[in-house]
Amino acid sequence: MKLQGVIILRISDFQRFLNLDEFLVKKNQLLERLTRYGTRLFCNTLQERDLCGIVRNWLNGVPISAEISAGKLIVHGVNGRNCYPLGVLQEQIDKYSGKLGFKDLYGLTAVYLLAGVNKADCPFKPDYGIMVNEKTDTISDENFISLHKDISLPVSDSASEGVFCVRVFANINAGIPIKVSTGDEEVILKEGQCVTAIFSDSGCVTLLCREISPMPGVYATMVPDKANKCANLVINRDSDTQVVTDVTSVWEEGGSDLAYVTAAGKVGYDKVKCYNLDRRLSVFFRNANGRKLLAIKKKPSGNYLLYTDTRIEY
């Protein structure tokens, strides 16, 4: 089993290089290793073997002899009854215990405890929401969703007014292309790619453009930023590369240039080349009345759709 390109031979490797997205894709490889060689060669202590046994049973789909109580994971194993303080995991368990079955809850908790999540130098933060997305095709309550398989987003039934937001769907390291679709729209995400979408309370309004090449030598694409849970825009102009952080939408503008909107509601564009856009934005900001600009989509006709937090403006 490899994580982040490193072969995982011992528990120390697992602790140093664990990436949960990648682990969920390759978890059967760990199961094969633990089944073939047992936990003795993988772990250093009886406590680690105890937790590793929980992980093996979880991945193998067999009953898990454990419970969560009084801020501890209590394991009933071959070495008797052992208790492992949850520490920083307690908040995540409280949040997701109603969305995950007991086996997934205990198994994922054991993974995090094995990885040393409660140590001061632990390089990652626990996130049980990833497991919710792994087990279902439903949309999580987070606005950054890491995907492991194709997903069909429910179509919004809202009119042009309501409550709207932007969500990011990312293929971080699934190892396969992933299709994101809603209604008659769809996009294929290769590993390391993402797409943004406008959502209402009832579902997906539209998928937004994720890559453009307005002229030879210029190419822009949206890439996921897992650490900050957003999408960044990478703009390549011949030998120069620019990265714009936390971008919600990008589109071709003026026939030879591009424009984009950030999560802060700021629009990046060349006022000289993008005269029509500049006029449209002037009208919008003059009459915004507190509405926040979320994203812009340019129609083939040349008209703009402006998505705000409370209204879609045509």
pLDDT tens series, the chain, 314 aa:
888 778 888 899 888 888 887 787 788 888 888 888 888 888 999 889 889 889 998 988 888 888 898 899 998 866 678 899 999 999 989 888 777 778 888 999 999 999 998 888 887 788 887 776 555 544 455 688 888 788 888 898 877 888 899 999 998 877 789 999 999 999 999 989 999 999 998 889 999 999 999 888 899 999 999 888 899 999 998 879 999 999 999 999 877 789 999 999 999 999 888 999 999 999 999 999 999 999 999 998 999 999 999 999 98
pTM score above 0.75:
no
Closest to 66 in 3D by CA, of 38, 28, 97, 105: 105
Q: Cα separations (Å) of 251 from 22, 66, 162, 248, 305?
A: 31, 52, 24, 11, 12
Q: Cα separations (Å) of 147 from 6, 21, 179, 192, 254?
A: 22, 9, 10, 11, 34
Exposure string for 178-204, b = 16+ CB within 10 A, e = fewer: bebebeeeebebeeebbbbbbbbeebb
CA 108 from centre of chain: 17
Distance CA 233, CA 245 (A): 6
Q: How many CB atoms lie within 10 A of CB 127?
A: 19
Distance CA 249, CA 75 (A): 48
